[in-house]
Copies of this chain bind each other. A is one copy, B any other.
Amino acid sequence: MTLFKNKYIRKLLDLYRDIWAINSAEALMGWDLDTYMPKSAHRYRGIALGRLSTLSQRLMLSEEFRKQYDKARREKNLTIEEKGVLRVLGRELHYYDSLPPNFLRELARTTTNARKSWLIAKKKKRYEKFLPSLKKIIELSRRKAELLGYKDKPYDALLDLYEEGLTTKRLEPLFRDIKHNLPRIVKKILVKRVFPMNHELESKKYNKEAMEKLSKELLKRIGYPFNRGRLDVSAHPFTIDISPNDVRITTWYPEKNFRESLLATIHEFGHALYELQISKSLSMTPIGIGVSLGIHESQSRFWENIVAKSKQFIDTNLSLFKKHLSILDQYDSFELYRYFNTVKPSLIRVKADEVTYNLHILIRFEIEKEMINKDIDPRELPVMWNEKMEKYLGITPKNDAEGILQDVHWSQGSIGYFPTYTIGTLLAAQIARKMDRQIKLYKRIEEKDYSSIRNWLRERIHRYGSIYTPERLIRIAIGQSLDPEVFMEHIRRKYLFE
């Protein structure tokens, strides 16, 4: 803690360490829940997690903690790290100061029920089953926005929860560009047919054990430190930060279409690398973690979309793939490249490719804005959804399960979350361009020199943890703000050879 010299900050960080310890325990319990926990242990694990979460909240809202925070706030001449600590804690305190316990309880009750009715609605493919819950969630989200406060639009208060400082105003030009340019680009790609819509490898079965070996070998190659992490299997891939030396990832091995497994593993590697490369001097403090969902997603997408789907990556790792997967015997590097980069307008966001993905988010962004900023009737949402799908992607869902009901987010009360995915995709392209200019990214990939890439990311982004706001960090990293044109350029160059 030598970075932190102010006595109140030091006291605050000492108090915070209990909260960090609880967070660390919760992270491990969450990991275990999805990997090794015996089946019947669910109920008790839920109770224990609930208690710990309330306990850590109580510690943060304790008089003692608040006293030190207030004292530290009045200090002059704090370092940037010390200011970062106060900024991050201030956000957390503001949340609990603004939202009364009764409101939070109502929200928790509502999302618990909404989760159930969403599952039923999705299974029965009937939006009406989810409608009452969604109505309530929209209503509570609007109240939440009012309670939290905002300068311009109510939606901004919700966006800020997932991406500090994000506003409708900042997002609008980004999505305007996507809306106006991306559908045309998609059409051109489909006409050009260099990258297919489907590939026969999508239906080829692979050997799971071989795939696991390949994944581990590849992770080692790109620099995942197995002495500070693990690769396990779970129902959905995720990354979990248990401590600065314990950031685990999981993946899945569906029956076929090995790209799905491999790219998920590399995606999670990107998340993990971020946490693993944060400066150790920030460890166990509120700023010793990744700063936002958008920045985090830029890291996972950078490794997934920019690195792993590049021609250079596939060229130089082909022999490793072939060593483990006998289904690849007949394929050359270019064919694999085409397989990794199919482009196809599809109904389901999580299955979408790099090109069409942002159109899925565009739809959600436009709907969420209306939900919160305007007085729309929620009954109209499925029609709105389907019209936008047709307009931007040229396809219409056959039912609500593959339409408006596909994502879990709204049922969890997470309105304002989706745009962080787009921030991640756009930023990944900007990082790639900057890195390419500075250290010739694609040559680095070609030479399997992943350590130069990791070092660049560490020095420019990772090491700062949450010292700066996401907006500030983007400026520091690439010297500019978010710009969708760089992403479009990446897509045009890669898929249209422009």
Chain A interfacial positions (CB closer than 8 Å to B):
17-18, 20-22, 24-26, 28-29, 32, 36-41, 43-45, 47-49, 51-52, 54-55, 225-230, 242-246, 248, 283-284
Are B39 and A227 in touch, CB under 8 angstroms?
A: yes
User: In the bound complex, how far is the Cα of B455 from the Cα of A36, in angstroms?
Assistant: 28
CB of A139, distance to nearest CB on chain B (Å):
32
Check B24–A228 contact: CB distance below 8 A: no
Contact indicator B228/A38 (Cβ below 8 Å)? yes
Contact: A40 with B230, CB < 8 Å?
Answer: no
Least CB separation from A26: chain B residue: B25
Q: Which of B18, B40, B43, B245 contacts A38 (CB 8 A)?
A: B245
Contact (Cβ within 8 A) A40 B245: yes
- Minimal Cβ-Cβ distance residue in B for A232: B36
Other A-B contacts than A22-B52, A38-B245, A47-B284, 12 sampled, CB-CB below 8 A, are A17-B47, A18-B54, A21-B49, A22-B25, A24-B44, A25-B26, A25-B28, A25-B48, A32-B32, A40-B225, A44-B246, A45-B246
A228:B21 contact, CB within 8 angstroms: no
Chain B nearest Cβ from A362, distance in angstroms: 40
Q: Closest CB-CB distance, A8 to chain B, in whole Å?
A: 20
Known contacts A44-B246, A45-B243, A243-B45; A52 and B39 CB within 8 A of each other? no
- Alpha-carbon distance between A228 and B43 when the two chains are bound, in angstroms: 12
B51 touches A246 (CB 8 A): no
> Nearest Cβ in chain B — how far from A235, in angstroms?
17
Q: Which residues of B contact A230 (CB under 8 A)?
A: 36, 38
- Can you list 26 A-B pairs with a CB-CB distance of less than 8 A? A18-B51, A18-B54, A21-B49, A21-B52, A22-B25, A22-B52, A22-B55, A25-B25, A25-B29, A25-B48, A32-B32, A36-B36, A38-B227, A38-B229, A38-B248, A40-B225, A40-B227, A40-B228, A41-B242, A41-B243, A43-B245, A44-B244, A44-B246, A44-B283, A44-B284, A45-B243
Contact A41 B246 (CB under 8 A): yes
CA of A51 to CA of B19, assembled, Å: 9
Q: Once bound together, how far apart are the Cα atoms of A41 and B243, in whole Å?
A: 7
Residue of B nearest to A35 (CB): B36
A41 near B245: Cβ-Cβ < 8 Å:
yes
| Neighbouring B residues of A17 by C-beta, 8 Å | 47, 51
**Docked-complex contact A21 and B51, CB < 8 angstroms:** yes
Tell me, in angstroms, the Cα distance from A132 to B427 when the chains sit together.
61
